[in-house]
A and B are shown apart, each in its own frame.
Chain A
Amino acid sequence: MLKQVRAWVEERTGLESGIAHFLNEDIPASSGWHQVFGSMALFMFLVQVFTGIMMALNYAPTTAEAHSSLRYILTELTAGRLMRGLHHWGASMMICIVVLHMVQVFLWGAYKKPREATWMLGVVLLLLTLGFGLTGYLLPWDNRAYWGTVVTTQIAAKAPLMGPYILTLLGSEDGQIGAVTFARFYAAHVLILPAVTALLVFLHVYLVRRHGVAPAPVETAPPIKFYPRQVFKDTVAIFAMFALLFVLAVAVRVPLGKLADPNDVTYIPRPEWYFLFLFQVLKYFEGPLEIVGSMVLPGLAVLLLFLTPFIDRGKAIALRQRTGAIGVLLLSLIGWGALTAAALSTTPHRDSWKGFTAEEMAAIGTFRQAACWQCHSSTPGDSRPGPNLADIAVLRDRDWLVGHFKQASGPAGQGVKDLRWRQLATFLPKLDDENVESLHRTPQSLVNGAMVYQQNNCGACHQINGAGMKSGPPLNGVAKRWDRKWMEEHFLDPESKSPGTIMPAYKFSPADMTAMLDYMMSLTD
């Protein structure tokens, strides 16, 4: 029966013989593990298409709803985080694989006559891959997306003569990023780029077939068939890469930040890691020279890459004779690595708990005291039975939470007063992907300090991060004004340090004093 169906299909479409023809291609006997990267890149493209479609099925591509629909995918849908994780890490992995593919072709000199066009198509495909990264970056519509794209479009706007036209084309006529830019990036990301990429991949593969896989300088054995020996190697490599991707997607959360806010001046934009070197280059060229860093150098680099087959016209393809190529590669790698490292080292780090009020810090203390960790985790991929804490806001309301705390915490939560449960129930739903880790990262001494602060009702006179009264001085930045010793003496006897103050003396226990001083000294801004 099956045989008959196969014969029927074969007779009408030639499907089976077509596949057989494709698989039974002759390849040089020297082919092997160094040639798996092309197949890997193609496979990564397919994974991106698949996970991209999966996300599109639950995603609303407008500035009004992109963020909330993505949040819905992440927090309410089974495997939603996995889909986004695969797509996000898949993008990074695809860049790596594409670059490795080019490095292999470069070192083996496989771009030489007659394969120049294959190489040039490959360079265009690299640019398209980067284009995917650039346009996809905006689609979560969080602060990271927004500010990253502001910088990108502003760079484009500085192009001589063309600037204003490019800006208009990017939907940012007035220099603002909004609904039109978003629509353009989305359309580019899911319509234009995939279509163009698919077409060029087809041509690229066609050219590979036309010229055959590049042979070694001396082929000693007769050609072999593509299937199954090379296909096996390709498959093993693809599987290893996919396994790594899957683990990344499960174990490393891709944060969805706060909704894009054009007025948020505290946000520090940073591009994706593979663009960091360009970002760093911009720091070295100022004023009229800026376009050297933003256009001239990157443009030259792409041009050199594109014309590589015509610059290197020598016949040498044996690895041992390719010292020049190896040198160029090492230099580029060192340059890229140094620029990326410099960009990373200058990225300011801000602890996620820095913005919390004393009440919120103390709520972390309640959370830890009641041993909520036994059932709940904030780390992705953790198998504890309770829901992940990053998803609390959409799952439960405040009243439900208070009831749950009392009932589920058991002996650990026995001594906790109602007010503190309510404060915890107010705090937890405010957590998002970006600050949920503060639940276990915030140093315990600071949490203890905040609890002492709360017990002594310091907020009745002082303010921290906008919460509390102002009859005493606000405490943000207090660590910059005074040292630890001064502060300790001030607690014990305020009058001795600030004559005429209305602050009463606080004779804390030694442990409380240490915690309180730790907390005060952490208030640097």
Chain B
Amino acid sequence: MKSPSPEEPRRGFLIASINGLMGLITAALALPSAGYLLGGSKAKRPADWVPAGDLAKLEENVPEQVIFERVRRDGWKTVKEKASAWMVKTADKQVVAFSPVCTHLGCAVSWDGSAKNFACPCHTSSFGTDGKVLAGPAPRPLDRFAVKLDGSTILLGEIRPADKA
């Protein structure tokens, strides 16, 4: 080991200061940036209830695709757009509305009348009329819209996973 010259401690201080100050600047930029990119919008509003079909027109246990209009906040825009749900009328005169989005990787599922299941065209997941996974890589049952009945008009709200619906 060589003996430290009189310059050494000062050199160490300079280098430590350079690294420390640059580190502070980096943190002052990186932390807000993380919040900025990962924080999402502060103005979250629950979805409105939108009318989507008539309970009386549904046949028990025969899924039917219903297309309806809803208003959605898309970043800085508020867009009016078409959306769809698979409605299944249950034995107790209630209705379950499934999101048509496969829980595997987001392809649109549709009702296969002959096989009596919801089939995903992408990776062959299939779901029963209760939304449960019958086959394929889908990790969880189909998501469901929150449903409210106003007389026989079906009102749809937010989409939630089946176990929280």
A interface, CB within 8 angstroms of B: 47, 50, 54, 57-58, 60, 65, 68-69, 71-72, 75-80, 82-83, 228-229, 231-232, 235-236, 238-239, 242, 246, 391, 394-395
Q: Which residues of A contact B25 (CB under 8 A)?
A: 238-239, 242
The residue of chain B having its C-beta at the shortest distance from the C-beta of A72 within the complex is B76
The residue of chain B having its C-beta at the shortest distance from the C-beta of A396 within the complex is B43
Using an 8 Å CB-CB cutoff, how does the interface string of B10-44 with A read, 1 for contact, 0 for none? Answer: 01001101100110110011001101110101110
Q: Which residues of A contact B28 (CB under 8 A)?
A: 242, 246
Could you tell me the dominant secondary structure of chain A's interface residues? helix
Q: With A236-B21, A395-B42 in contact, do A79 and B33 touch (Cβ < 8 Å)? A: yes
Say if the beta carbon of B2 comes within 8 Å of chain A. Answer: no
Q: Give min CB distance, B90 to chain A, whole Å.
A: 35
**Interface contact A235-B39, CB-CB below 8 Å:** no
What would 30 A/B residue contacts be, using CB atoms closer than 8 Å?
A54-B37, A58-B75, A65-B76, A65-B77, A69-B75, A69-B76, A72-B75, A75-B42, A76-B41, A76-B43, A77-B39, A78-B35, A79-B35, A80-B36, A83-B32, A228-B11, A228-B15, A228-B18, A229-B14, A232-B17, A235-B17, A235-B22, A236-B17, A236-B21, A238-B21, A238-B25, A242-B25, A246-B28, A391-B42, A394-B43
A57 to B38, CA, bound (A): 12
Q: Which of B15, B22, B36, B42 contacts A83 (CB 8 A)?
A: B36
A231 to B18, CA, bound (A): 7
The residue of chain A having its C-beta at the shortest distance from the C-beta of B17 within the complex is A232
B78-113 with Cβ < 8 A to chain A: none
**Interface contact B42-A77, CB-CB below 8 Å:** yes
Q: How many A-B residue pairs have CB under 8 A?
A: 72
B46-79 with Cβ < 8 A to chain A: 75-77
Q: With A65-B77, A246-B28 in contact, do A77 and B18 touch (Cβ < 8 Å)? A: no
**Interface contact B76-A71, CB-CB below 8 Å:** yes
Q: Which of A54, A229, A236 contacts B36 (CB 8 A)?
A: A54
Q: Which of B22, B24, B37, B43 contacts A75 (CB 8 A)?
A: B43
**Interface contact B21-A235, CB-CB below 8 Å:** yes
Most buried by B among A76, A238, A242: A76
Q: Which residues of A contact B32 (CB under 8 A)?
A: 78-79, 82-83
Q: Which residues of A contact B14 (CB under 8 A)?
A: 228-229, 231-232
Q: Which residues of B contact A395 (CB under 8 A)?
A: 42-43
Q: Which residues of B contact A69 (CB under 8 A)?
A: 75-76
Q: Which residues of A contact B41 (CB under 8 A)?
A: 72, 76-77
Q: Which residues of A contact B43 (CB under 8 A)?
A: 75-76, 394-395
Q: Which residues of B contact A235 (CB under 8 A)?
A: 17-18, 21-22
The residue of chain B having its C-beta at the shortest distance from the C-beta of A43 within the complex is B25
Q: Can you list the 9 inter-chain pairs with the closest CB atoms, starting with the nearest?
A: A78-B39, A72-B76, A79-B32, A78-B35, A228-B14, A232-B14, A239-B21, A79-B36, A76-B41
Q: Give min CB distance, A232 to chain B, whole Å.
A: 4
Given contacts A68-B76, A228-B15, A235-B18, 15 further A-B contacts (CB under 8 A): A47-B29, A50-B29, A58-B75, A78-B42, A228-B18, A232-B14, A232-B17, A232-B18, A235-B21, A236-B17, A239-B24, A246-B28, A391-B42, A394-B43, A395-B42
Q: Which residues of A contact B77 (CB under 8 A)?
A: 65, 68
A77 to B11, CA, bound (A): 43
A65 to B77, CA, bound (A): 8
Q: Give min CB distance, B59 to chain A, whole Å.
A: 40
The residue of chain B having its C-beta at the shortest distance from the C-beta of A66 within the complex is B76
Q: Which residues of A contact B29 (CB under 8 A)?
A: 47, 50
A472 to B101, CA, bound (A): 63
A228 to B15, CA, bound (A): 6
Q: Which residues of B contact A231 (CB under 8 A)?
A: 14, 18
A68 to B77, CA, bound (A): 8
The residue of chain B having its C-beta at the shortest distance from the C-beta of A71 within the complex is B76
Q: Which residues of A contact B33 (CB under 8 A)?
A: 54, 79, 83
A391 to B24, CA, bound (A): 30
Q: Which residues of A contact B35 (CB under 8 A)?
A: 78-79
**Interface contact A57-B42, CB-CB below 8 Å:** no
Q: Which residues of B contact A246 (CB under 8 A)?
A: 28
Q: Which residues of A contact B37 (CB under 8 A)?
A: 54, 57
Q: Give min CB distance, A250 to chain B, whole Å.
A: 10
Q: Give min CB distance, B57 to chain A, whole Å.
A: 34
Most buried by A among B24, B32, B41: B32
Q: Give min CB distance, A93 to chain B, whole Å.
A: 14
Q: Which residues of A contact B22 (CB under 8 A)?
A: 235
A15 to B51, CA, bound (A): 63
A50 to B21, CA, bound (A): 18
A391 to B42, CA, bound (A): 10
The residue of chain A having its C-beta at the shortest distance from the C-beta of B18 within the complex is A235
The residue of chain A having its C-beta at the shortest distance from the C-beta of B30 within the complex is A50
A303 to B120, CA, bound (A): 69
Q: Give min CB distance, A453 to chain B, whole Å.
A: 35
